[in-house]
Amino acid sequence: MHGEIVVIKYGGSSIGSGLADVIQDVLKLQQSGWKPVLVHGGGKDITSMLSRLQIEGKFVNGLRLTDAPTLDVVEMVLRGKVNLQLVAEIQKQGGKAIGLSGVDGGMIQVRQKLPELGFVGDVKSVATELLEVAVATQYIPVVAPIGMDAQGQRFNINADEAAGAIAGALQASRCIFLTDVAGVMRQSHTQSDGQPIVADTLTRQEIESMIASGEIYGGMIPKMEACLYALEAGAQLVQIVDGRKTGILAETLIEQLPHGTKIVA
């Protein structure tokens, strides 16, 4: 897959003790010819910091309510801790990385999502120049999901949405969401032991039906919306895989083993 771009969303719920293994996997992709772009979350670290600062964290339909004090914490944690941690680990393992946010170079332009969510933005557009220069020179861009509107106000962006928008803008061959589940569970389809099965492939129509029925709910809804957005915007294939499994990226993209759930148009 020489020269093919893969956007990898590394979820905050997955970041932790498995960090070194995930970065090793990302570097394997680069060495095999892929051009990785890493977009990260950091929800657990944000929640922890808000608690330490005695700022109450609130969510509306799976999205963090971001008032001015919360935005300060979000920026501090995403840009000042998680982003640096990922960049440092890539370079520790012999790779080249550059830490960015959607504010840098006006990369991610946003509009306010809903007044009741505060400084939470919807992606309007993605300028890809910085990302293209980075991958062309063998740097791995590591992007924190913070954007800016036309007036210069900064906004927190759902990391799934940011990854989907970046994948679409780059016309990425793959957009991979690393998360803490095996894939999208089909509660209406069970194994012999009564456990739900992981959907191999889902279409827009199936996803919309599962959201309407409550089979897909909470934080999985914006993830599904981000997958569909990425496809509509130009990404060729979107996949949700279990980021807790060591070697999952190499198995999925190099060995081409079946993992997780593929989202198709």
Q: Which residues are annotated as part of the binding site?
A: 42-43, 64, 156
Tokens coding 13: 């719920």
Alpha-carbon gap, residue 52 to 197, rounded angstroms = 38
Tokens coding 216: 């897909």
**What are the E-state strand segments in the chain?**
5-10, 35-40, 59-60, 63-64, 97-101, 108-112, 121-126, 140-144, 146-148, 154-156, 174-179, 185-190, 196-198, 201-203, 238-242, 261-264
Tokens coding 23: 């970065």
- Amino acid at the residue 213: S
Alpha-carbon gap, residue 63 to 91, rounded angstroms = 32
Tokens coding 15: 């970041």
C-alpha radius of gyration, the chain, whole number: 17
Annotated binding site for substrate: 42-43, 64, 156
Say how many Å lie between the first and final Cα of the chain, rounded: 22
Alpha-carbon gap, residue 170 to 168, rounded angstroms = 5
**Cα angle for residues 65, 71, 75 (degrees, 5° grid):** 130
Only one residue has tokens 């980075």, namely 134
What's the DSSP call for residue 160? H
